[in-house]
């Protein structure tokens, strides 16, 4: 197939999403390298992302581009041999073993606390905010933390386990505002170091530890934005760990990004550059993992709130670039922009979801009514 035919095929596909090559709208594709079209057909989404990092194409409004692309399901239209082989490999192996799971800590969460300090809110919450009545990112993240604590019915004297505690934002908030003792675990060395510093003087213990190593009792368990790193072969193991750590009358809140369909791999560009080993769970996979262990008390969906969260992070990142560029090069800047804005577009297209699920142990007689 000649280059002109490659271009024609890509243009035909993009027309289905109301995206034009060389058009004048902010979501249209501006091509700087003619070899882009063949690269897209042979490499799919991996080629699309890498070509953007290489400067082969631009788009004034990447979030709008991805919203249209994913609404039209063009990701299904370009499937490569490499993607098929990746699915086979995932089926045959566990990519989120204790040893392998630490890759995402090194590759993503250890990339630099200076980056995250400037991109996130003052508490460094790296998950979807709750924008129900919030005017800005700071308020949205505080509203989310308070919502989580209220859903867990936290009270002074309780012991809370935070699986995937990040930089300790929730642990600090819960200890300061609800009087609980918190143990937070993370697999990121830099997260653990800064979280310990930020939680000094509070009844908060931060551990560099894999969730599978936990075996002690807690009144409440929470996990925000970590289940996406567990992997479908480990969902049942994860829930079994929570079950053995949670008191008989306790509550567990799971906050996770999720997919509309059961999946076993993630987008190949996201896998290579952002979240190695990550995969989004589905409702069916979560349901199977909790069967005979937990009862569902509440299932709250607010995926559209991730769109303004990601856009706020992108604005913060761009505003801080003059301070960051000494440590991060232009290729990183394009990669990070692509990551934030492609994800914003995916949530705007309702391609991904955000769920907060409150669970109690099977056999509990608690009567629970979820706050909003």
Cβ-proximal residues to 277 (8 Å cutoff; 6+ apart), any chain: 95, 96, 100, 101, 103, 104, 229, 231, 271
- Break the chain down into helix, strand, coil percent, rounded to 5: 50, 15, 35
78 vs 319: CA distance, rounded Å: 35
The values of phi and psi at residue 352, to 5°, are: -120, 160
338 vs 58: CA distance, rounded Å: 10
Pick the catalytic residue: 59, 149, 199, 343? 343
Structure tokens at 13: 């596909």
Long-range contacts of 234-237 (CB under 8 A, 24+ apart): 234/94, 234/96, 235/281, 235/285, 235/286, 235/288, 235/289, 236/288, 236/289, 237/212
C-beta of residue 63 within 8 angstroms of C-beta of residue 315: no
Q: Around Cβ 11, how many Cβ atoms within 10 Å? A: 15
- Tracing tokens 């509070």 back to the chain, one arrives at 202
Q: Is 343 a catalytic residue?
A: yes
Long-range contacts of 185-190 (CB under 8 A, 24+ apart): 185/161, 185/209, 185/210, 185/211, 185/214, 186/105, 186/109, 187/101, 187/102, 187/104, 187/105, 187/109, 188/105, 188/106, 188/109, 188/110, 189/105, 189/110, 190/109, 190/110, 190/112, 190/113
- Tracing tokens 């193991």 back to the chain, one arrives at 237
127 vs 226: CA distance, rounded Å: 9
67 vs 350: CA distance, rounded Å: 9
Structure tokens at 177: 């505002």
Residues labelled as active-site residues? 343
């Amino acid at each position: 197939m000649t280059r002109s035919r490659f271009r024609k095929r890509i243009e035909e596909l993009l027309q289905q999403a109301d995206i034009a090559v060389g058009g004048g709208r902010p979501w249209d594709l501006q091509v700087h390298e003619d070899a882009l079209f063949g690269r897209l057909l042979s490499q799919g989404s991996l080629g699309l992302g890498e070509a953007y990092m290489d400067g082969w194409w631009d788009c004034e409004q990447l979030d709008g581009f991805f919203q249209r692309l994913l609404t039209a399901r063009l990701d299904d239209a370009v499937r490569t041999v490499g993607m098929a082989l990746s699915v086979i490999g995932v089926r045959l192996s566990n990519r989120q073993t204790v040893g392998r799971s630490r890759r995402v800590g090194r590759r993503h969460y250890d990339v630099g606390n200076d980056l995250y300090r400037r991109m996130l809110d003052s508490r460094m919450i790296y998950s979807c905010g709750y924008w129900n009545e919030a005017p800005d990112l700071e308020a949205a993240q505080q509203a989310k933390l308070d919502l989580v604590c209220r859903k867990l019915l936290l009270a002074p004297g309780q012991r809370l386990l935070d699986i995937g505690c990040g930089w300790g934002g929730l642990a600090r908030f819960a200890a300061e505002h609800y009087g609980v003792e918190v143990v937070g675990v993370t697999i990121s060395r830099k997260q653990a170091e800064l979280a310990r510093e930020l939680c000094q003087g509070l009844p908060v213990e931060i551990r560099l530890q894999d969730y599978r190593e936990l075996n002690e009792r807690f009144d409440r368990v929470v996990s925000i934005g970590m289940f996406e790193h567990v992997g479908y072969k480990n969902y049942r193991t994860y829930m079994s760990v929570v079950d053995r750590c949670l008191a008989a009358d306790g509550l567990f809140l799971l906050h996770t990004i999720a997919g509309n369909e059961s999946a076993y791999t993630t987008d190949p560009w996201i896998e290579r550059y952002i979240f190695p080993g990550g995969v989004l769970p589905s409702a069916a996979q979560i349901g199977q993992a909790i069967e005979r262990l937990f009862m569902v008390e509440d299932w709250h969906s607010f995926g559209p709130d991730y769109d303004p969260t990601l856009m706020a992070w992108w604005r913060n990142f761009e505003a801080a670039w003059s301070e960051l560029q000494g440590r991060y090069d232009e290729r990183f800047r394009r990669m990070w922009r692509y990551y934030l804005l492609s994800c914003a577009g995916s949530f705007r297209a309702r391609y991904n979801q955000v769920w907060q699920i409150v669970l109690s142990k099977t056999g509990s007689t608690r009567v629970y009514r979820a706050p909003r």
